[in-house]
Amino acid sequence: MALTTLYDNIEAERARKHWTIAQTAEMLGISEKQYRNRLANAQNIKASDLVDYAKLFGVSVDYLLGLSDKVNPA
């Protein structure tokens, strides 16, 4: 997994939705600081956090990780 891919894909999905970091963090139930820290430390991101991001953005975990070009889950 390329960490830049994960970071880039999460940020691209947030931008597509036109959500601020504050809005996205609120929808995830975390603080802005936690959101930024999770992305800054992507190598330590928990599987449950990846699932939360995928559900929020309506994409697959594989897409976020750069393992698939399919954006939407099957």
C-alpha 9: how far from its chain's center?
A: 7
> What is the rounded distance in angstroms from the CA atom of residue 1 to the CA atom of residue 44?
12
Do the Cβ atoms of 60 and 74 come closer than 8 Å?
yes
**What integer pLDDT is reported at residue 70 of this predicted model?**
75
**What integer pLDDT is reported at residue 2 of this predicted model?**
55
Q: Would the pLDDT of 62 be above 60?
A: yes
> What is the rounded distance in angstroms from the CA atom of residue 18 to the CA atom of residue 71?
17
Question: E strands, the chain, where?
Answer: none
pLDDT single digits (tens) 40-58: 887 788 899 999 999 999 9
Q: Would the pLDDT of 15 be above 90?
A: yes
Q: What token pair was written down for 40? A: 């800054």
Ordered domains of the chain (ranges, CATH): 3-65 (1.10.260.40)
Do the Cβ atoms of 21 and 36 come closer than 8 Å?
yes
